[in-house]
């Protein structure tokens, strides 16, 4: 089943056309890679899907809902959640509180509940913390749940960003360069995490520069260049595509 | 979420007991009870201002909204004869209503733009009180805003009596602090602080940030309006000058000196600085300058404000205990 469908999407900033009329579809249960050189429009694509910037023209449909034109919180509510290229956390919160904050949509927030501190509210708070700790165990941060987010090393901060997104209980998760700035060991753990996320029934779309990561992890890859899709297919197909070699890697590059 | 530990509970209980016994503790000295009432009102104003801060905003319109509550209740009494028992609530409501309308454009601004816009809102509110002379009495203000009496059958309480008014004020201020504390230490507060910390991320995890900002601003201004109505019936006289930018600035200094991260901050700041301010009354002109000095000294010597003192002491004892 098609989960995300893009029709003729264009994103322009003043004179710059960052996305130039692309069509795409992401299937339920797949891990999709989105690659392309710097400035190709990858992050802009995520910004369009998540409602961060309004689309210039075109349609985005998610699970039967038209989401182009919606606000980020409305899109998150429908089950499409994204992470950010640059580490984006609630920095002064503890790790577990970061994830609890991310769990807002499912925490049954009510003003009167907060004020009267009813039994229902207290139970919801306890459940939310429990859920946050489970998610932290899942991403491998269970041991450092009570540390302050800003004190974590870069790799852990990246993982925490994903934990926050998972707390919003997405059906489709968009990851913007999850392995950026990681060493080999951390990258391997991240790859493993993405697979395990998919195995829980969440579709994943990820932007990544590291070809080893993309080729090994993705079911299908879409290649962007100057806001256009120049190739799409399995890792093997994309690897052999001449235009990809030309544009993304330089003609002499050796894609392994 | 962050529930109070034992030390905090003890501190709050102690404060409440002292507050309840205060008239007796100061031997019913009318001047000292006047200071105590001033403290309660300053605590309420600083605390509701801090509530807006929990989303990352400092509103210089806060005294203006206090003024809306004060004028509403005052005019209901002097023009229509409606007693303060209704005026307190209607004043709060009116302030909240106007805050709701103004916050729709206001809460779309950020950082320094919000700062300037809220300043302008505060100034416009004040100037409206001055401009519409027939309704608000112009710069002369409104007189004879008497407090109410109640007759419980066996006993009559006249709130023109300072001790009685002190307890009335204490009740409402305790209510305001409780509302803000509860809000802050629950999911609602977590949501506010997440907006404060990273609005973009909060939005993308499903928080309707704009809506929450409007609600928080409206609630805080409603509470400021209630504070204003209490102020009016205590002073029995108000004028536009009672609610100018300086009032907001003093509340802000209370918050900064007290501390920005817990509700204890504005409470501690307002109590201690109101006392200091009274002690300096004799120095006249220097009071304002002193406030500036205290603010700078706190920022430099005690970053984080008074609320960090318990933690600092604990660390000190732990270190010397080793
Ligand atoms: N908010 C914006 N305002 C103006 N121009 C923008 C904005 N966002 C992106 N752009 C421009 O759109 C183009 C695509 O940027 P985008 O961030 O999507 O690239 P990217 O593929 O994610 O690159 P990278 O691999 O470096 O992250 C760039 O030319 C960029 O300068
Ligand atoms: Mg990018």
Strands A16-27 and A2-13, sheet pairing: antiparallel
The domain spans of chain A are 1-79+170-256, 89-168
Considering only CA atoms, which of A155, A165, A160, A148 is closest in space to residue A93?
Answer: A148
Q: Which chain B residues are closer than 8 Å to A165 by Cβ?
A: 205
Q: What residues make up the domain containing B253? A: 2-320
User: By the CB < 8 Å criterion, does A125 face chain B?
Assistant: yes
Considering only CA atoms, which of A178, A154, A155 is closest in space to residue A166?
Answer: A178
Mutation target for B interface from A72, A81, A108: give the one with most B CBs within 10 A: A72
pLDDT given at position A248: 62
pLDDT given at position A256: 46
CB contact (8 A) between residue B206 and residue A90: no
Extract long-range pairs of B85-94: CB within 8 Å, 24+ residues apart: B85/B148, B87/B229, B87/B233, B88/B172, B88/B226, B88/B229, B88/B230, B88/B233, B89/B226, B91/B225, B91/B226, B91/B228, B91/B229, B91/B232, B92/B222, B92/B223, B92/B225, B92/B226, B92/B229, B93/B222, B93/B225, B94/B68, B94/B69, B94/B225
Strands A65-66 and A57-62, sheet pairing: antiparallel
Could you read off the pLDDT tens digit of each residue along chain B, which spans 322 residues?
555 678 888 889 999 999 999 999 999 999 999 999 999 999 999 999 999 999 999 999 999 999 999 999 999 999 999 999 999 999 999 999 999 999 999 999 988 999 999 999 999 999 999 999 888 989 988 988 988 888 887 888 888 899 999 999 999 999 999 999 999 999 999 999 999 999 999 999 999 999 999 999 999 999 999 999 999 999 999 999 999 999 999 999 999 999 999 999 999 999 999 998 888 887 777 777 877 888 888 889 988 899 888 888 888 888 776 5
Q: Domain A1-79+170-256 adopts which CATH fold?
A: Rossmann fold (3.40.50)
Encode A18-47: b = buried (16+ Cβ within 10 Å), e = exposed: bbbbbebebeeebbbbbbbbeebbbbbbbb
User: By the CB < 8 Å criterion, does A107 face chain B?
Assistant: yes
User: By the CB < 8 Å criterion, does A122 face chain B?
Assistant: no
* DSSP label of A250: -
Look at ligand 1, atom 17, and give the residue with the nearest C-alpha.
Answer: A43
Residue with tokens 């302050």: A148
Instruction: Judge if the beta carbon of residue A49 lies within 6 A of ligand 1.
Output: no
Mutation target for B interface from A54, A73, A92, A93: give the one with most B CBs within 10 A: A73
Closest-CA distance, A48 to chain B, in angstroms, reads 12
* DSSP label of B147: P
**What are the pLDDT digits (tens) for A174-206?**
999 999 999 999 999 999 999 999 999 999 999
| The model's pTM | 0.94
Distance CA B34, CA B13 (A): 23
Of A90, A97, A165, the CB nearest to B198: A90
Distance CA A30, CA A256 (A): 22
Total domains, chain B: 1
Extract long-range pairs of A235-244: CB within 8 Å, 24+ residues apart: A235/A33, A238/A35, A239/A215
Distance CA A113, CA A128 (A): 15
Q: Which chain B residues are closer than 8 Å to A76 by Cβ?
A: 203-206
E strand or H helix at A6, and its extent?
strand A2-13
Helix (H, G, I), strand (E, B) or coil at A5: strand
Q: How many residue pairs bridge chain A and chain B with CB atoms within 8 Å of each other? A: 92
How many C-alpha atoms does B111 have within 13 Å on its Cβ side? Answer: 1
User: By the CB < 8 Å criterion, does B180 face chain A?
Assistant: no
Tokens of A140: 């491998």
Q: Ligand 1, closest atom to CA A41?
A: 18
CB A172 within 8 A of CB A197: no
Instruction: Indicate which CATH number applies to the domain containing B179.
Output: 1.10.3470
Which of the listed residues A17, A36, A39, A86 should we mutate to test ligand 1's pocket, taking the one with most ligand atoms within 8 A of CB?
A: A39
Burial class from Cβ neighbours inside 10 Å (0-12, 13-18, 19+) for residue B69 reads buried
Instruction: Judge if the beta carbon of residue A85 lies within 6 A of ligand 1.
Output: yes
Considering only CA atoms, which of A230, A226, A199 is closest in space to residue A29?
Answer: A199
Q: Ligand 1, closest atom to CA A45?
A: 18
Q: Which chain B residues are closer than 8 Å to A91 by Cβ?
A: 197-198
Write the CB contacts of A218 (distance below 8 Å, at least 6 apart in sequence).
A31, A32, A33, A206, A235
Instruction: Judge if the beta carbon of residue A227 lies within 6 A of ligand 1.
Output: no
Strand partners, A206: A33, A175
Look at ligand 1, atom 18, and give the residue with the nearest C-alpha.
Answer: A41
Which of the listed residues A44, A56, A206, A210 should we mutate to test ligand 1's pocket, taking the one with most ligand atoms within 8 A of CB?
A: A44
CB A113 within 8 A of CB A123: no
Of B187, B191, B206, the CB nearest to A168: B206
Closest-CA distance, A143 to chain B, in angstroms, reads 19
User: By the CB < 8 Å criterion, does B188 face chain A?
Assistant: yes
Of A73, A89, A128, the CB nearest to B203: A73
Flag residues of chain A having pLDDT under 70. 248-256
Considering only CA atoms, which of A88, A246, A108 is closest in space to residue B187?
Answer: A108
Write the CB contacts of A82 (distance below 8 Å, at least 6 apart in sequence).
A46, A49, A50, A165, A173, A174, A175, A176, B204
User: By the CB < 8 Å criterion, does A100 face chain B?
Assistant: yes
pLDDT given at position B4: 65
Q: Distances in Å between the alpha carbon of A52 and those of A7, A76, A82, A117?
A: 18, 11, 10, 34
Closest-CA distance, B261 to chain A, in angstroms, reads 11
Of B187, B203, B215, the CB nearest to A107: B187
User: By the CB < 8 Å criterion, does B125 face chain A?
Assistant: no
Farthest-apart Cα atoms in chain A, separation: 67
Instruction: Name the phi and psi angles at A254, rounded to 5.
Output: -105, 110
Residue B194: closest CA among chain A residues belongs to which residue? A90
Residue B2: closest CA among chain A residues belongs to which residue? A97
User: By the CB < 8 Å criterion, does B204 face chain A?
Assistant: yes
């Amino acid at each position: 089943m098609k989960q995300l469908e893009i029709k003729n999407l264009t994103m322009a900033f003043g004179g710059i056309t960052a996305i130039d009329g692309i069509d795409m579809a992401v299937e339920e249960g797949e891990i999709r890679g989105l690659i392309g050189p710097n400035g190709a429009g990858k992050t802009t694509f995520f910004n369009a899907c998540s409602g961060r910037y309004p689309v210039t023209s075109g349609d985005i449909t998610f699970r039967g809902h038209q989401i182009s034109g919606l606000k980020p919180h409305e899109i998150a509510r429908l089950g499409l959640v994204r992470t950010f290229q640059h580490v984006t956390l609630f920095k002064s919160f503890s790790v577990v509180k970061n994830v609890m904050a991310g769990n807002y949509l499912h925490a049954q927030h009510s003003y009167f509940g907060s004020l009267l501190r009813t039994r229902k509210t207290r139970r919801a708070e306890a459940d939310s913390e429990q859920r946050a700790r489970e998610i932290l165990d899942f991403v491998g941060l269970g041991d450092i749940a009570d540390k302050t987010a800003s004190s974590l090393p870069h790799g852990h901060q990246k993982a925490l960003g994903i934990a926050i997104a998972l707390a919003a209980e997405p059906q489709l998760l968009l990851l913007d360069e999850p392995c950026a700035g990681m060493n080999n060991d951390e990258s391997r753990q991240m790859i493993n995490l993405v697979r395990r996320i998919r195995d829980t029934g969440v579709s994943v779309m990820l932007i990544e520069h590291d070809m080893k990561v993309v080729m090994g992890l993705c079911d299908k890859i879409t290649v962007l260049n100057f806001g256009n899709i120049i190739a799409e297919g399995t890792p093997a197909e994309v690897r052999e595509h001449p235009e990809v070699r030309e544009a993304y890697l330089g003609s002499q590059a050796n894609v392994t | 979420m962050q529930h109070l530990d034992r030390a905090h509970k003890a501190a709050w209980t102690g404060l409440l007991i002292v507050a309840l016994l205060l008239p007796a503790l100061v031997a019913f000295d009318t001047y000292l009870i006047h200071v105590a009432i001033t403290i309660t009102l300053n605590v309420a104003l600083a605390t509701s201002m801090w509530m807006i801060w929990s989303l990352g905003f400092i509103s210089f319109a806060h005294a203006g909204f206090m003024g809306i509550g004060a004028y509403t209740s005052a005019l209901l009494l002097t023009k229509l004869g409606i007693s303060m028992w209704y005026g307190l609530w209607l004043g709060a409501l009116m302030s909240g209503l106007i805050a709701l309308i103004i916050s729709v454009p206001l809460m779309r601004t950020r950082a320094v733009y919000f700062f300037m816009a809220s300043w302008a809102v505060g100034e416009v509110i004040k100037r409206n009180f001055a401009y519409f002379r027939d309704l608000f009495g112009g710069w002369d203000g409104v007189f004879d805003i008497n407090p109410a009496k109640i007759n419980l059958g066996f006993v009559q309480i006249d709130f023109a009596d300072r001790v009685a008014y002190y307890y009335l004020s204490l009740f409402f201020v305790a209510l305001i602090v409780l509302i803000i504390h509860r809000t802050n230490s629950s999911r609602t507060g977590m949501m506010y602080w997440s907006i404060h910390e990273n609005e973009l991320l909060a939005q993308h995890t499903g928080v309707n940030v704009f809506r929450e900002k409007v609600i928080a601003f409206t609630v805080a201004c409603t509470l400021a309006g209630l504070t204003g109505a209490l102020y009016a019936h205590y002073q029995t006289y108000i004028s536009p000058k009672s609610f100018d930018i300086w009032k907001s600035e003093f509340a802000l200094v209370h918050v900064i000196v007290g501390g920005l991260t817990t509700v204890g901050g504005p409470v501690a700041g307002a109590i201690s600085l109101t006392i200091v301010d009274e002690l300096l009354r004799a120095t006249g002109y220097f009071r304002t300058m002193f406030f500036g000095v205290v603010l700078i000294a706190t920022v430099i010597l005690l970053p984080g404000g008074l609320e960090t003192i318990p933690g600092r002491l604990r660390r000190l004892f732990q270190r010397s205990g080793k």
